[in-house]
A and B are shown apart, each in its own frame.
Chain A
Amino acid sequence: MSAIKVSNLSKKFKELTAVDGVSFDIPYGKVTALLGSNGAGKSTTLNMIAGILEPSCGSIEFTDLTFEKDYKKIKSKLGYLTCDMALYPTFSVRETLKLLGDLKGFSRKKTKERIEQLSKRFDLKEILDKFFTELSSGQKQKSLIAASVFHDPEILIFDEVTASLDLIVSKEIMDFLIEEKEKGKAILFSTHILSEVEYISDRILMIEKGRLVKETTHQELIAEGNSKNITEAFYRALKEVA
């Protein structure tokens, strides 16, 4: 059963067509990686799926739910994070998480429990009462992940969340995504770090110039051109498309 069904999705910004008639399914229990060069339309696609940008045409369905009718229901299902997101600078991490609990409609008890769980999972105890601006990059990203999965969403959309992070934090985040996958959640993520794709992805969607050019797995991608590794395979695939 697919978590997200994207059909003929397009986005135009005045003269520029950022996404041009993209269609794909995102299944539950699998990690789908979205690959493409800079400006290919990855973030625009993810933004549309997350309901932050309105598509110019096409549809996005979440197991029969659409944004037009079930905006709030879909938002409760989605966990969304991008590399340029931030928590509120004038709030401590705990206050932000409490605020999110209120916005999700959680009871105080449930919010408290969830903060406990997440701070254990991401080792946030020491930074819970610090302001966002006082944290290191790794701590910032961990607290952002905690915020984005605060409501335990069944679909995770992560856009280049490991950019500019060190190996250890990146690995922790990847391990977290694997855990979530094992719980049967649908995961869609974009990245430029191909080792991460090789490490966790079950499927690869390649987008170039706003179009979906390939739907494959990393094993297939390497096997296709007898490449030595995924970097070479991806480079070759990009050249083919161009």
Chain B
Amino acid sequence: MSFRSVYTVFKKELLTLLRDRGVLFTNFFVPLFGLPLYFIFVFESASFMAKEEAKTTQDATQYQVSYQGSLPTDFIEGIKDSKKVNFFKNKEIISPLEIKTYLETMSHYEALNKATPRAEIILQNHDKNELEVKRLAVSKAKRAYITSYNKLKEKIVPDSDVHLVYLKGEENQQDRYLLFYDENKNISRWGKFWVTNLLESYESKLVAVNKEKKGITQRELNPLLIKDISLAKLSKDLTKTIGLSLGGIILFLLLIFTLNPTINTTIGERDGHTYKLLLMNPISPYEIFLGKYLAVAFQGLITLIPYGIEVIIGYTWASSNLIFASLPPVTPMKLTILIVGITGVAIAVSSICFLISSFTRTRSQAQSLQTLLMFLVAVPMGMIGVLDIGLSIETVFLPVLNFPLTVENLLVAESNLFLCLGSFAVNVVFSLALIWLSLGAFLVQWKGSSDTTTFTDLLTFKSSKSKKLSPAHAFLGFAISYLGHSYGGAIFKLFDAEFAVLFFTPLLFSLGVSIALFHHSGLDLTRAIRWNLPGLKEVFRYFIGAFLLNLVFGVSFTSLGFGEVLKDVYPQPFGMNSFFSLLSTFFLVSLIPSFCHEFLFRGLIYKGFRNQYGLLLSTVTSAIFFAIVQFSIGGFALAFVLGLITAVIYERKGIVSSMLFHCFFTSIAAAMAYSPQFQSYLEGIPPLASLLFLPITVAMGLNLALPQLNKRAFLSLAQRKNSPKKSEREMPSQEDDLAS
């Protein structure tokens, strides 16, 4: 084997990859702009959520105390001597709850020892609050113990000498201490004030001593940092969420970004008729293969480098700002494991993609297999969180095996999400049907398609031939999206990642699926969808229409006793007491779902059906699909009507208009659902009054739909006259031109 030849092929492939505009986007734009924006968004949301939480509770529950170097002994001794604070330097207690349990157990212990002088009661297990009674000589004493224990259990008064305030050295952090108190007990609150006062006075003493010194840093001058720990506590959950989602997002991106380069290096050479040029050189096919493989693997790695650097900077920065104070520290060992693990994953992903594109005959086959792989591998991997820095090496390499997905857990999560759709059995049947259809859609794509993909084709795995979006795409998109929404959501729920359920699930499974399938079908995304911008008049019409429709829904739902349904459909993630909270709610509840859902349900599913079926079937099907993923009966009715309207708007005016209407509708609906005044106002309206709004809404709907229906009706009539057998679906569309 000639290494020079391998190197030349490697160099050539790498140059080709680097000259690909897509690679430039993925290797520079996304890490330099996309990821920082993502980090900023997540951190801002987190601190905002923490502030919101702090507003609801009167006092912050915990404080974090930090000091450069070790906390001075005289200070610690001062605290200890005061006998008002229990000071723990050890690591046996790790949470406020456990401290509380521990102290209550201690109280039991002391009280019990007084009550049963003949026995010695030993604290057996702090966590489980178990007491073991030793040296109980006689059964009488035992009975006495049980009676007194049961009595004492009901009313336990802590020793009045001890304030329930605890300062604990943080695990693996020499200079950080956590201060806990029990917010339910007045005595504990006093203790907190006492400690904070003590800390503050100590700090001013230190400042007074140090300020005379020259060349002193700000930190030395002001060495004690007392910080509300609710931020740190929240960021612990947040880290988990970031760990869970970021790994998935990066892998997801990596897979998407590896798809085309790997296909270009293999199938692309044949499609571009350049492979013969390479084969006519004195270089063996094995050397060519090796050179290409090395280039693809290397590209996978260099894609990761900017992300890796950003993640490390992120963690380091976060650590210095005490945000991740409650996390284990980032040690060189853990970083090494992380880097090795991620490198392994990157190479593995690139290798699999390369292997797939080496053994498939067409671009479409390779893309179809790789898309499948993307969802099978990236999503579960992301959920486990390869980038969670606290994870072990096994978790990095074998995430799926380590995942504690028990039937019980899944059932609980399932029942939360599918409660309104019926029983678990119904979901199993529904999911199986979708898996079957998506398999059909996949195989239809695999075989390469024709213009006549029917439902039967999907059920029987027959093939079609076209580059247009087809019902096969629509089904595949919907199936993956549905399964992702439900099972992905369920898995996120297992981690209590409400934020991820709210935000990442629709993003990953709606937008991700749509983009992947558009990409997969070989269509230029920017041209396949109509992006016409609506005029001002149109915007006004959408707003009024959305408002009226909401009134009809609001009144009829409330009068029928389903007022609460609206609140379920539009969960309220934050309070409504600041501009930023309103803005964030608008983003999470209205803007992002509108964008993602319109992309998937109108851009992909409606369009896929519209390319082959009539207006009515496409509109109704896309609306049903959209309604199903709402996972509630009230949501179903609401989304079905909304789906019908947005489909008509999409058909007439393009995706921006349908997104706008959707966004108006959800914003108004959410505002109505969150407002108690509006709710009581709605309850006051007699049920029949809702009928008053109905004609207006119907008129508006007809105003939108009629011109379109007329146009279609005329065209189909004309077509029927010309050729009676031909269906009305032969409307020329933009995709026809693109596909050709």
Interface residues of A (CB under 8 A from B): 50-52, 71-73, 75-76, 78-80, 82, 84-91, 96, 99-100, 102-105, 147-148
Q: In the complex, what residues of B have CB within 8 A of residue A78's CB?
A: 280
Chain B residues with CB under 8 A of A104? 281-282
Please determine whether A85 and B276 come into contact, CB atoms closer than 8 angstroms.
yes
B273 touches A84 (CB 8 A): yes
B269-297 near A? 1/0 per residue, CB < 8 Å? 00011101111111110000000000000
Q: Is the CB of B279 within 8 A of A52?
A: yes
User: Which residues 1-27 in B have Cβ within 8 Å of A in the complex?
Assistant: 4-5, 8-9, 11-12, 15-16, 19-20
Q: Across the interface, which residues of A come within 8 angstroms of B279, CB to CB?
A: 50-52
Contact A99 B283 (CB under 8 A): no
Residues of chain A within 8 A (CB-CB) of B20 are 90
Least CB distance, B7 to chain A, in whole angstroms = 9
Closest to A153 in B: B280
- Evaluate contact between B282 and A76: CB separation under 8 angstroms: yes
- Select which of A80, A89, A90, A91 is within 8 A of B276 by beta carbon: A80
Question: B276 — nearest CB in chain A belongs to which residue?
Answer: A85
B274 near A73 with CB under 8 A, answer no
Taking CB atoms, residues of chain B closer than 8 Å to A96 are: 277
Q: Closest 4 CB pairs between A and B?
A: A72-B282, A103-B281, A75-B282, A102-B8
6 further A-B pairs in the complex, CB-CB below 8 A; given A88-B272, A103-B281: A71-B282, A82-B276, A90-B20, A100-B277, A100-B281, A103-B9
A72 touches which of B8, B11, B278, B284 (Cβ 8 Å)? B284
Cα-based distance from A100 to B5 in the complex (angstroms): 10
A-B contact number at CB 8 A: 70
Instruction: Decide: A85 and B15 in contact? CB cutoff 8 A.
Output: no
Q: Which residue of B lies closest to A95 (CB)?
A: B15
A87 & B19 in contact (Cβ 8 Å cutoff): no
- The residue that A103 contacts in the complex, of B16, B19, B282, with Cβ under 8 A, is B282
In the complex, A73 Cα to B9 Cα: how many Å?
Answer: 19
- Are A80 and B272 in contact, CB atoms less than 8 angstroms apart? no
Tell me the interface secondary structure of chain A in the complex. Answer: mixed
Which residues of chain A come closer than 8 Å to B276, judged between CB atoms?
A: 50, 52, 80, 82, 85
- A129–B21 CA distance with the chains assembled, in angstroms: 20
- Which among A86, A103, A104 has the highest number of chain B CB atoms within 10 Å? A103
Knowing A87-B274, A90-B20 are in contact, say whether A103-B283 is a contact too (CB < 8 A).
yes
Question: CA–CA, A52 to B272, complex, Å?
Answer: 16
Q: Report the Cα distance A73→B284, complex, angstroms.
A: 11
- Residues in B with CB closer than 8 Å to A50 are 276, 279-280
In angstroms, how far is the closest chain A Cβ from the Cβ of B676? Answer: 62
Q: Which residue of A lies closest to B275 (CB)?
A: A52
Interface residues of B (CB under 8 A from A): 4-5, 8-9, 11-12, 15-16, 19-20, 272-274, 276-284
Query: Which residues of chain A are near B280, meaning CB under 8 Å?
Result: 50, 52, 75, 78-80, 148
Q: Determine how close the nearest CB of chain A comes to the CB of B77; give it in whole angstroms.
A: 72
CA distance A82 to B279 in the complex (A): 13
Closest to B281 in A: A103
A-B contact pairs, 30 of them (CB 8 A): A50-B280, A51-B279, A52-B280, A72-B283, A72-B284, A73-B282, A75-B280, A75-B281, A75-B282, A78-B280, A80-B276, A84-B273, A85-B274, A85-B276, A85-B277, A88-B272, A90-B15, A90-B16, A90-B19, A91-B12, A91-B15, A96-B277, A100-B281, A102-B8, A103-B8, A103-B9, A103-B281, A104-B282, A105-B4, A105-B5
- Residues of B near A91 (CB, < 8 A) are 12, 15-16
Could you tell me the dominant secondary structure of chain B's interface residues?
Answer: helix
The docked-state distance in angstroms from the alpha carbon of A52 to that of B276 is 7
Q: Which residues of B contact A90 (CB under 8 A)?
A: 15-16, 19-20
* Alpha-carbon gap, A91 to B16, bound state (A): 8
Residues of A within 8 A of B4 (CB): 102, 105
Q: How far, in whole Å, are A50 and B278 apart by their CA atoms in the complex?
A: 12
Separation of A99 and B15 alpha carbons in the complex (Å):
11
Query: Contact partner of B282 among A80, A105, A147, CB < 8 A?
Result: A105
Residues of A with C-beta under 8 A to B5: 103, 105
Residues of B within 8 Å of A89, CB to CB, are 272, 274
**Complexed CA–CA distance, A90 and B21 (Å):** 11
Residue of A nearest to B280 (CB): A80
Residues of A within 8 A of B278 (CB): 103
Chain A: minimal CB distance from B279 (Å): 5
Q: Give the complex CA separation of A148 and B274 in angstroms.
A: 12
Q: Are A86's CB and B273's CB within 8 A?
A: yes
- Determine if A87 and B277 form an interchain contact, defined as CB atoms under 8 angstroms apart: yes
Q: Which residues of A contact B9 (CB under 8 A)?
A: 103
Q: Are B274 and A99 in contact (CB under 8 A)?
A: no
Q: CA of A238 to CA of B615 in the docked complex: distance in angstroms?
A: 56
**Chain B, residue nearest A77 (CB):** B282
Residues of chain B lying within 8 A (CB to CB) of residue A52? 276, 279-280
CA distance A85 to B8 in the complex (A): 21
CA distance in complex: A42, B16 (Å) = 33
- Name the B residues within 8 Å of A103 (CB-CB): 5, 8-9, 278, 281-283
* Most A-side CB within 10 Å, residue of B16, B20, B276, B279: B276
Which chain A residues border B277 with CB–CB below 8 Å? 85-88, 96, 100, 147
Q: How far is the CA of A147 from the CA of B279 in the complex (A)?
A: 13
Tell me whether A99 and B12 are in contact (CB under 8 A): yes
CA–CA, A219 and B278, complex, Å: 38
Give the chain B neighbours of A102 by CB distance below 8 A: 4, 8, 11
Of B8, B20, B277, most A-chain CB atoms within 10 Å = B277
Minimum distance in angstroms from B148 CB to a CB of chain A: 85
Interface centre among B9, B12, B279, B281 (most CB of A within 10 A): B281
Alpha-carbon separation in the docked complex, A52 to B281 (Å): 11
Query: Please, which residues of chain B bring their CB within 8 A of the CB of A84?
Result: 273
Instruction: List chain B residues, Cβ under 8 A from A85.
Output: 273-274, 276-277
**Nearest chain A CB to B184's CB is how many angstroms away?**
68
A79 to B648, CA, bound (A): 60
Contacts of B11 in A (CB 8 A): 102
Closest to B264 in A: A90
Alpha-carbon separation in the docked complex, A72 to B11 (Å)? 20
Minimum C-beta distance from B208 to chain A (A): 69
- Residues of chain A within 8 A of B281, CB atoms compared: 75, 100, 103-104
A85 to B269, CA, bound (A): 10
* Chain A residues whose C-beta falls within 8 Å of the C-beta of B12 in the assembled complex: 88, 91, 99
B273 touches A75 (CB 8 A): no
Asked whether, in the complex, the Cβ of A88 is within 8 Å of the Cβ of B273, the reply is: no
Q: Please, how many angstroms separate the alpha-carbon atoms of A50 and B9 in the complex?
A: 20
| Nearest Cβ on chain B to A145's Cβ, whole angstroms | 12
A99–B8 contact, CB under 8 A? yes
A72 to B4, CA, bound (A): 14
Whether A86 lies near B274 (C-beta < 8 A) is: yes
* Cα separation A73 to B281 with both chains bound (whole Å): 10
Contacts of B19 in A (CB 8 A): 90
Query: Which single residue of chain A is at the shortest CB-CB distance from B4?
Result: A105
What is the distance, in angstroms, from A1's C-beta to the closest C-beta of chain B?
A: 22
Shortest CB-to-CB span from B377 to chain A, Å, is: 29
Most chain A CB within a 10 A radius of its CB, from B9, B273, B276, B280: B280
Query: Which residues of chain B are near A73, meaning CB under 8 Å?
Result: 282
